Structure 1
Amino acid sequence: MKVLITRAKSTPDGTPGRLVTEAGFSCDTLELPWKDNQRGISCIIADTYEGWIWQSPTMGRAVIRLEDKHGRKDVLIHNGNFAGDQTIDEDHDGRPDKFTQIHGCTEVGMGYGMITRPDGKGLQWGVLSSKQTLALLVAHLGPGKHQFTYRWADGCAP
């Protein structure tokens, strides 16, 4: 199945987007901000990737695994809420000011909002209803290889 992920502009809270399949399923996405495809701190290059359903031993659930490409490995589409910029340290304490749960992957959900951070440091903007959305997406896609195209919305490319 063909899947299109269209990204909006990157912000310190991440890169929001919209996932739409050729069969009509749609949901919101959240990725790390664009940082020149650097592993661990950047979203992946806008391109087409082959992907498939994969049972993640660390996450304990079915996720979507994308092919290794452009120097990036182990990139997944999975649940999560936060994708904050890991290069911002305005208080100079040696720790990023923004919280993230990904290192180059894509989180899926339905809607965005302010969410309590798991580290107890207040609220941060993130994607909502992620576990439920991932389960719906996995069931919708089913087994086999799928084609995931990442693109920037008009006027949003870095």
Structure 2
Amino acid sequence: MVLVLTRTYFPEGTNGKLECEGKFICNTIELPWKNNETKVSCIPEGKYFIRKRYSRKFKWHLEVIEVKSRSFILFHPANKAMKELNGCIAPVTKISGAGLGLMSRKAFTKLRTIVYKALDEKQRVLIIIKS
């Protein structure tokens, strides 16, 4: 499975559109681009794999792996990138501003269902991040 995240950058945050094989899944919000600095920047554009991950805080969610100079880059619910993200990606149902979104849990559940189904079928899940 190949996911494509197309980003638009703003000083206050990064907005994106996530698709699979040309089909829209959800919008996304992230921190602004700040040269891949830990906890204050979105991750660099490129190709990465996604796997399942569990934590007490986020329960079952998704992790973007093998990001240069970064770790624990997650897909998890959040509606305000600057307040709720440390470099992660938040699926949102609707964009409400730069780095701001609405109904993140709904969008996250939709994304997780799609990705977990592919992973359960032993598919590798690749995400291509571009602008």
Number of equivalent positions: 126
Distance of 2:25 and 2:11 partners within structure 1:
22
> How big is the shift at 1:44?
0.2
What residue number does 2:56 align with?
Answer: 57
Instruction: Tell me: CA distance 1:53–1:34, structure 2 relative to 1, closer, same or farther (3 Å).
Output: same
User: 8 Å contact 1:81–1:127 — kept in the other structure?
Assistant: yes
What residue number does 1:133 align with?
Answer: 107
Q: State, as a whole percentage, how many aligned pairs show the same letter.
A: 25
Distance of 1:125 and 1:48 partners within structure 2:
22
- Normalised by the length of structure 1, the TM-score is 0.73
Q: Which runs of 4+ in 1 moved over 3 A?
A: none
* Higher strand proportion (structure 1 or 2): 2
**Stretches of structure 2 lacking an aligned partner (at least 5 in a row):** none
* Higher helix proportion (structure 1 or 2): 2
User: 8 Å contact 1:68–1:74 — kept in the other structure?
Assistant: no
Distance of 1:146 and 1:56 partners within structure 2:
20
Distance of 1:31 and 1:147 partners within structure 2:
19
User: 8 Å contact 1:34–1:43 — kept in the other structure?
Assistant: yes
User: 8 Å contact 1:18–1:28 — kept in the other structure?
Assistant: yes
When structure 1 is superposed on structure 2, of 29-38 and 135-144 the one drifting more is 135-144
Distance of 2:68 and 2:109 partners within structure 1:
28
Q: CA RMSD in A?
A: 1.8
- Please state if 1:149 is matched with 2:123: no
Distance of 1:68 and 1:102 partners within structure 2:
19
What residue number does 1:70 align with?
Answer: 68
Between Structure 1 and Structure 2, whose CA radius of gyration is higher?
1
